[in-house]
Amino acid sequence: MPPRLPPKKNIKYKKEIGVIILLLLLAFLFWGDGEAFTASPAPPLTVRVTRQTLELTVMASGILQPIKRIDVGSQASGQLKTLSVTPGDFVHQGQVLGEIDPTLSQNTLQDAEVALNSLLAQKRANQALVKRSALLLKRQQAMYTQSAASQQDVESAEADIAVQQAQLTSMNAQIHQQQIRVDTAKTNLGYTRIIAPVSGTVVSVNTQAGQTVVASYQIPVILQIADLSIMTVRAQIPEADISRVKPGLPVCFTTLGADTRPLCSTLRTLEPAPETINNAVFYNALFDVANPQGTLRPEMTALVSVVLQRADNVLTIPVTALGPQIDASHYRVNLMGTEGKTVARTILTGIDDGTRIEVKEGLQDGEALVIASLPPSETTK
Q: What pLDDT does 140 receive?
A: 67
Average pLDDT over residues 125-149: 75
How far apart CA 193 and CA 185 sit, in angstroms, is: 14
The rounded distance, in Å, linking the Cα atoms of 231 and 68 is 8
Mean pLDDT of 18-31: 62
Question: What stretches of 77-159 adopt beta strand conformation (E)?
Answer: 78-83, 90-91, 96-100
Q: Are residues 363 and 284 in the same domain?
A: yes
Number of domains in the chain: 3
**The pLDDT of residue 381 is above 50:** no
- According to DSSP, residue 277 is labeled E
At 145, the pLDDT band (50, 70, 90 cuts) reads confident
Q: Is residue 212 a part of any domain in this protein? A: no
Give the least confident one: 71-80, 139-148, 233-242, 312-321: 139-148
pLDDT reading at 270 higher than 90: yes
Phi (first) and psi of residue 164, to 5 degrees? -70, -35
Tell me the C-alpha distance between 54 and 309, whole Å.
Answer: 8
Predicted confidence at residue 371, as pLDDT, reads 84
Would you state the pLDDT for residue 211? Answer: 85
Q: Picking from 109-118, 120-129, 237-246, 286-295, which range would have the lowest pLDDT averaged per residue?
A: 120-129
Q: Which amino acid is at 242?
A: I
* pLDDT over threshold 80, residue 97: yes
Q: What percent of the chain has pLDDT over 70?
A: 83
217, part of any domain: no
The residue range of the domain holding 339 is 42-67+226-381
Same domain, residue pair 24 and 112 = no
Residue 206 lies in a domain: no
Give percent above pLDDT 90 in the chain: 52
pLDDT of 369 higher than 50 = yes
Task: Identify whether residues 33 and 49 lie together within a single domain.
Answer: no
- The b/e string for 52-86 (b: 16+ C-beta within 10 A; e otherwise) is eebbbbbebebebbbeebbebbbebbbebeebebe
Q: How far is CA 248 from CA 253, 284, 306, in A?
A: 16, 15, 10
Amino acid occupying residue 220: P
**pLDDT value, residue 149:** 64
**What's the pLDDT at 148?**
64
- 242 with 364, same domain: the answer is yes
Task: Tell me the backbone φ, ψ of residue 252, rounded to 5 degrees.
Answer: -130, 160
**Any domain includes 347:** yes
Query: For 347-351, what is the mean pLDDT?
Result: 92
| 208 found inside a domain | no
CA dihedral 112, 114, 116, 120 (to 10 degrees): 180
Considering the domain architecture, whether residues 189 and 234 belong to the same structural domain is answered as: no
Same domain, yes or no, for 360 and 343? yes
d(CA 348, CA 357): 10
Please state whether the predicted TM-score (pTM) of the whole model is above 0.85: no
Let me know if residue 125 belongs to a domain. Answer: yes
Average pLDDT on 275-286 reads 94
CA distances (Å), origin 192, targets 41, 104, 267, 293: 89, 10, 42, 35
* φ, ψ at 301 (rounded to 5°): -85, 130
Report residue 319: phi and psi, to 5°.
Answer: -65, -20
Residue type, 259: D
Which pLDDT does position 42 carry in this prediction?
64
> C-alpha distances in angstroms, 143 versus 16, 104, 207, 340?
178, 59, 77, 140
**Within this chain, do residues 80 and 176 fall inside the same structural domain, yes or no?**
yes
pLDDT grade for 26, boundaries at 50, 70 and 90: low
213-218 — which CB contacts under 8 Å span 24+ positions? Answer: 213/74, 213/76, 213/77, 213/78, 213/79, 213/80, 213/100, 214/77, 215/73, 215/74, 215/75, 215/76, 215/77, 216/77
Inform me whether the pLDDT recorded for 114 exceeds 80: yes
350 has pLDDT over 50: yes
| 371 shares its domain with 230 | yes
pLDDT-based confidence at residue 379 (cuts at 50, 70, 90) = very low
* Same domain (yes/no): 249, 268: yes
One domain, residues 50 and 97: no
In a domain, 325, yes or no: yes
Q: Tell me what pLDDT residue 377 has.
A: 46
183: domain CATH number?
Answer: 1.10.287
User: What's the mean pLDDT in 39-44?
Assistant: 63
| pLDDT surpasses 60 at 376 | no
Enumerate residues 6+ apart whose C-beta is below 8 A from 346.
326, 330, 331, 332, 333, 362, 380
Please compute the mean of the pLDDT values over residues 157-165 and round it to a whole number. Answer: 79
Could you tell me if 9 and 94 lie in one domain? no
Dihedral class, residue 147 (left if φ above 0, else alpha if ψ from -120 to 50, else beta): left
In a domain, 310, yes or no: yes
C-alpha 267/C-alpha 250 separation (Å) is 6
- Going by their DSSP bridges, the two strands 46-48 and 368-370 should be labelled as antiparallel
User: Mean per-residue pLDDT for 328-345?
Assistant: 86
In this prediction, residue 40 has a pLDDT band, given cuts at 50, 70 and 90, of: low
Question: Sign (positive/negative) of CA torsion 25, 27, 30, 32?
Answer: negative
Q: What is the CATH number of the domain that holds 53?
A: 2.40.30.170
Q: Which residues contact 92 (CB under 8 A, 6 or more apart)?
A: 196, 199
Single residue among 176, 195, 214 that ends a domain in this structure: 195
If asked whether residues 170 and 234 sit together in one domain, one would say no
